[in-house]
Amino acid sequence: MANPSRRPRFLDVTRIRFPVGAICSFGHRVSGVALAIASPLLAVLFTRSLQGAEGYAEAANWLTPLPVRAALVLVVWALAHHLLAGVRHLLMDVGFGSALGTARASAWLVNLAGVAIAALAVGALR
């Protein structure tokens, strides 16, 4: 008889069709990790901006190059998605929106609103 411990498992996520809530949840996790990495960098910016006139000016200067502004758009997107998905979770914790239909709708809302806010950021940081 074949060795049971060598049984394969089907886990090819590219072959699995994820519902919208799973996309929202995955985004929540990715954005969380992204924010954790971005936080120290943002804190450096924040700290510098509080160090008098030259500090404030230098912090503003750091934000002028295009790659930095592009990264900031991504940070805004991460924050928006993480925050909105978090609110969705908090509401479900206290009983609002855990029914499947409502949960799907709120997941769509969160996913799209995050992108919309990122688009606004593109406009604001242009």
Partner 1 sequence: MRFSIYRFNPERDSRPTMQNFEAVVGPHDRMLLDVLLRLREQDDSLTFRKSCREGICGSDAMNINGRNGLACITPLAGLKEPVALRPMPGFPVIRDLIVDMTQFFNHYHAVRPYLVNHEPPPERERRQSPAERAKLDGLYECILCGACTGFCPSWWWNPDRFLGPAALLQAMRFIADSRDRATAERLEFLDDAYRLYRCRTIMNCTEVCPKGLSPSRAIEHIRQRIVKEGL
Partner 2 sequence: MRAVASGTRAWLLQRLTAVYMLVFLVLTLGRCAVDPPASHEAWRNWIGTGGMRVATVLFFVGLVLHAWVGLRDVAMDYVHPLALRVALLALVGAGLAAFAAWMILVLAGL
Binding residues for partner 2, rule: CB under 8 A, are 29, 32-33, 35-36, 39-40, 43, 47, 49-50, 52-53, 55-57, 83, 86-87, 90, 93
69 binds partner 1 (CB under 8 A): no
Residue 52 to residue 29: CA distance in whole angstroms:
36
Please identify which residue in the block is written with the tokens 């912090």.
59
16 binds partner 1 (CB under 8 A): yes
Q: What residues have CB less than 8 Å from 123, skipping those under 6 apart? A: none
Q: Binds 15, which of partner 2, partner 1, none (CB < 5 to 8 A, cut-off by type)? A: partner 1
4 binds partner 1 (CB under 8 A): yes
103 binds partner 1 (CB under 8 A): yes
Residue 74 to residue 86: CA distance in whole angstroms:
18
